[in-house]
Amino acid sequence: MRLILMGAPGSGKGTQGALLAQRLGVPAISTGDIFRANVAARTRLGGQAQGYLDGGEYVPDEITNAMVRGRLAEPDTAGGFVLDGYPRTVSQIAYLDEVLRDAGTALDAVLWFSVEQDEVVRRLLERARVEGRADDTAEVIRRRQEIFLAQTAPLMGEYRYRGLLVKVDGAGTVGAIAQRVAGALARSGRAPV
């Protein structure tokens, strides 16, 4: 099963992605996690990405696309994947299409987590308190929401048009949302879980 998780920063897609991947027995691939790991390990990719992450800006498509192509070529993705945080731009959608076409595969569904803006900001501020992520400051949180609304929210229309979009109400507890995810996927007929 090949799934994409989309939603605003703080919408819970990372948490739900990890749970879903575990249930499906496929890897959860978070582009944000891969970038953060590279920054921490001071790799060349980390050096290229760090400034963008710290400012809440998107890492340029060429860098992000090449990284995702490499990750999706790893053998553990043969049976599927849960991709969290990619694609985020129009050009990334086209690139992912190409990667999957080259591999002779296709997406099963795109889960879209919708959460009120006030609620995502509240969650991110709470995460900042608990995890201390460098990009969870009030100013960068605001910037990340702006960029999401300008560049990523409009992509919903493309996946809806393709009949892949499965919307999930992302409010509430982790457990309640996980149940909603399973129910929405089952009802969509796109992915048996």
Which tokens is 166 given?
A: 């499965």
Nearer to ligand AMP, 58 or 112 (CB): 58
Pick from 2, 71, 123, 144 the residue near ligand AMP by CB under 6 A: 144
Does 64 bind ligand AMP (CB under 6 A)? Our answer is yes
Q: Measured on CA atoms in the order 102, 103, 109, 110, is the torsion positive or negative?
A: negative
Least distance from C-beta 89 to ligand AMP, angstroms? 6
Does 145 bind ligand AMP (CB under 6 A)? Our answer is no
Does 2 bind ligand AMP (CB under 6 A)? Our answer is no
Pick from 81, 86, 112, 159 the residue near ligand AMP by CB under 6 A: 86
Pick from 85, 115, 141, 181 the residue near ligand AMP by CB under 6 A: 85
Site residues for ligand AMP, window 12-31 (CB under 6 A)? 31
Nearer to ligand AMP, 1 or 135 (CB): 135
Which residues in this chain contact ligand AMP in the complex, by CB under 6 A?
9, 31-32, 35, 52-53, 56-59, 64, 85-86, 88, 92, 135, 144
